[in-house]
Amino acid sequence: MLCPPKMRCERARSELASCRMTPERTRPPFVADERTQLLGWLDLQRALVHWKCEGLSDPDTHRVVLPTSPLMTMAGVVAHLRWAENTWFEVLFLGRPADGPQFKVEPEDAEMMVDAVPLSRLLEEYEQQCAVSNEIVAAHSLDDVGTHPDFGAAAATLRWMLIHMVEETARHVGHLDAMRELLDGQKGYY
């Protein structure tokens, strides 16, 4: 029996999303300019986010493994990282409106509340947000400072923001690594 056209399209989209390749995990060159090194390390950490999520079932991506941190799920961390990229590069650096879920006062950590969102969609949104961030970085000097008038952190240079995003992403890759081992025993680095 053939599926109705809409169902065939949704199934094809789902199958395509599950076939997406994990970004290549490559360290930056030993000798390179500062921008290449900073973006290289950040892109490696971003690729590790994808790798840590590879092959997980959707229920596992939303499973809580740290009882005192109910929002700390694989899916929740991916969503948080997407919005962290948005915050630092689009909002604080470029001065765009602070209107994402990460700016909600209540509920706290709203950007991590993604129980109904498939991991494939969250990873795609994260990848798109990282591409936007890379475009912003490519178009500006590392010495340029943020422009948002309402946040003190906007006074940081783009260089500082890049270093911070390497730290932020790497820290959460560590969380993903531990959660993945608790979920299904998979472990490994690089």
Beta bridge partners of 145: 157
Residue 167, domain member (yes or no): yes
Residue 26, domain member (yes or no): no
Cβ atoms of 89 and 161 within 8 Å: the answer is yes
pLDDT tens readout for residues 141-151? 999 999 999 99
Coil, helix or strand at residue 157: strand
Structural domain span for residue 114: 42-184
Average pLDDT over residues 150-178: 97
Instruction: Report the CATH number at residue 115.
Output: 1.20.120.450
Residue 35 has pLDDT above 70, yes or no: yes
C-alpha closest to that of 71 among 95, 36, 102, 31? 102
Distance from C-alpha of 78 to C-alpha of 11, rounded to nearest angstrom: 23
Residue 2, domain member (yes or no): no
Residue 3, domain member (yes or no): no
Cβ atoms of 52 and 126 within 8 Å: the answer is no
CB atoms near residue 46 (< 10 Å)? 25
Residue 54, domain member (yes or no): yes
Residue 59 has pLDDT above 60, yes or no: yes
Note the pTM of the prediction, 2 decimals: 0.87
pLDDT tens readout for residues 7-30? 444 443 444 444 456 788 888 889
Q: What is the pLDDT of residue 24?
A: 85
